[in-house]
Structure 1
Amino acid sequence: MIGIVIVTWNGLHDTLKCLTSLRHQSYSQWQAVVVDNASQDGTPTCIADYFPEVHLIQNERNTGYVHANNQGIDYLMAHNCQWILLLNNDVVMQPDALAEMVRIGDENPQIGVIGPLMQRTLRPDVIDMGGDLDFR
């Protein structure tokens, strides 16, 4: 099971696009938690209404990105997720992204961190991030 943490603060439209892309994943063994940092744009209500499968943590004040990620990680670890994905709310994932990351992880048990290739939405020919790190 992949646990996915999405932190948001007044990012309704981006967050809805991100969650919609998760619904279209070919890999279905995932659980998402959205940590809302006191949004004033209706984000919590929309998530509760349109994405009932997503666990929502609502902070009364903006606790910051790191703290909010830790809240999500704590929740997902308590629900026995094997992998944790920290996903920015403005990311739209390709339908096979989760399946491909799980495949790489399953084939290479020595790997501790996996990340996807990141392309720009308006310029898919430009790669923002990719490559390898080897800390041996």
Structure 2
Amino acid sequence: MTYNRKELLKECLQAVLSQTRPPDHVLVVDNASTDGTAEMVKQAFPQVELLSLAENSGGAGGFYEGIKQAYAKGFDWLWLMDDDTIAESKALEELLKPISILSWAIGEISILASAVLWLDQTPHPMNTLNPECKNTQITLRAVELGFLPIRSASFVSILVSQQAVGKYGLPLKRYFIWNDDVEYTSRILKEGLGFLVPKSVVIHKTLRKYNPTTSGRPDRFYFEVRNKVWLLKSNSLYPREKAIYSLRLLKSVWEFLKHNKFIPIAWLCITKGIVDGIFRRPM
């Protein structure tokens, strides 16, 4: 999924196509880019399928359309990532290993996630481990093999099974940006099983110090607030998780206001985010 970052996309695609176990098919969802992204893909990567959207529908809308199209094509597993994800050469090979090793239980595995690193090679905490995962035969065997149970994951290199998409549906495209991946994967993993595969490694090309609560614009922070409220209202989380995410939202708002308290639009965007989150629906 990409928007106006053709150089990053080029690097991402080169990494994907250079995998020791290449994907069977590659689909790029172009979110109405204006920087020549579509032309670059057609010229430099003719083997890649391009889905050009008529308007920018945000990351949530892009993944909605991409998963919808890939699911319709009948692929067993969908490898999802943003354009700022650079996969190491064995990322997909390693990510697929649980599927073959645990083939006797594959119908119960819904999501497999890569280990994500920042640019400085330090771990990027994008995937939430699940220490309370039930000790079933599958999870015990998976842990023995080094695969770690997860409760949610980011759209930065995850495999989602076709069965999971068929059962739990698509991401909610009205989220636009932020928290759509948390909602979607939490929705799936509330019942399904997901594992982090530590030997599958990708680089997320963002600075370690970047934080949308302090670095983002007020009009973008609106989505953080609204979507967190939507997440809290959803059935994707357990009550204890909702309490944790409520505290995270309060912390985000507090940190954002510390940096923007004298900007009137910051208060307006936060208020609007809360109101829209309460009175509007993401469906």
TM bin (shorter chain) = 0.7 to 0.9
Match of 2:28 in 1: 34
Match of 1:25 in 2: 19
CA distance in 1, matches of 2:64, 2:12: 20
Q: Does 1:81 align with 2:75?
A: yes
Match of 1:4 in 2: none
Larger C-alpha radius of gyration, 1 or 2?
Answer: 2
Match of 2:43 in 1: 49
- Give the paired residue count: 128
Scaled by the length of structure 2, the TM-score of the pair is: 0.43
Aligned-pair Cα RMSD in Å: 1.6
Gaps of 5+ in 2: 135-283
SS of 2:110's equivalent in the other structure is: coil
Q: Does 1:101 align with 2:101?
A: no
Shift of 1:28: 2.2
Matching residue within 114, 117, 123 for 2:115:
117
Instruction: Say whether the 8 Å CA contact 1:105–1:114 is kept in structure 2.
Output: no
Structure with the bigger RCO (C-alpha within 8 Å, sep 6+) is: 1
CA distance in 1, matches of 2:41, 2:29: 11
Gaps of 5+ in 1: 1-6
Tell me which amino acid in the other structure corresponds to 1:127: P
CA distance in 2, matches of 1:82, 1:12: 28
CA distance in 2, matches of 1:104, 1:77: 21
Match of 1:3 in 2: none
Shift of 1:112: 1.4
Scaled by the length of structure 1, the TM-score of the pair is: 0.85
What do residues 54-113 of structure 1 show as CA deviations (whole Å, max 9, x unaligned)? 111111211222121121112211222111122011011011100111112222323211
Instruction: Say whether the 8 Å CA contact 1:73–1:84 is kept in structure 2.
Output: yes
Match of 1:71 in 2: 65
SS of 1:104's equivalent in the other structure is: helix
Tell me which amino acid in the other structure corresponds to 2:110: G
Tell me which amino acid in the other structure corresponds to 1:51: F
Instruction: Say whether the 8 Å CA contact 1:35–1:72 is kept in structure 2.
Output: yes
Q: Percent identity?
A: 23
What do residues 1-56 of structure 1 show as CA deviations (whole Å, max 9, x unaligned)? xxxxxx11101111100000011101124312111111111100000111111111
Tell me which amino acid in the other structure corresponds to 2:94: E
Match of 1:127 in 2: 123
> Higher helix proportion, which one?
2
